Amino acid sequence: MAYIPYGYKIQDGVVTVDEKSAGQVKVFFEKYLSGLSLTVAGEQAGIDKTHSVMGRILKDVSYLGNDVYPAIIDKEIFDKAEEVRNKRAKDLGRVVELAAFTSPPPKERFKMNKPGNKLPVDPFARAEHLYNLIESEE
C-alpha cells in the first residue's frame, strides 16, 4: 500500500484505526455537516491538511470500512456529507453538467491532399507543410 488514509496506521502489518486521528476525522465530518467549509472544519477538528486533502478525506470510501480498513464513519454520515458536498459544488457552479456543453463534436474524418513534388528540406517546415494539407471531410 502506497497510501494510508488519515485516521489509520499500520501495526504489525495490519491496518488499524489510529484513535486520535480517527476521532479528528469524525469531528471533521460533524463540523462539515454543521455548515463549515472544508478548511475550517479541518482546522477545528485539529487536522492540519490542505483544502484538497480535506476534500479527499470527505470522499474516501475507506472510512466506511472494507476488507482492509476498519470503519471510522458510518454510512449515513458519509452519504450525508457527500450530499452536502455535491449541493455546495452545484450551488457554487463547480459542477459541470454534460448537457451544458454546446461545442460541436470533434471532427472524426479527415483527408490529406497530395503533397506535390517540392517538399521543404527542413524537417520542421516539411512537417508544417504536410500538416497544412490535412482537411476535414465534413
pLDDT, one tens digit per residue, over 42-67 is 999 999 999 889 999 999 999 999 98
How much is the pTM? Answer: 0.66
- What is the domain class of 8-96 according to CATH? alpha beta
Q: Which grid cell sits at 98?
A: 454534460
Residue 19's pLDDT band (cuts 50, 70, 90): very high
In the chain, where the domains are located: 8-96, 104-138
Predicted pLDDT of residue 99: 41
7 in Cβ contact with 22 (< 8 Å): yes
Query: Residue 9: CB partners within 8 Å, gap ≥ 6?
Result: 15, 16, 17, 18
Position 113 pLDDT exceeds 80: no
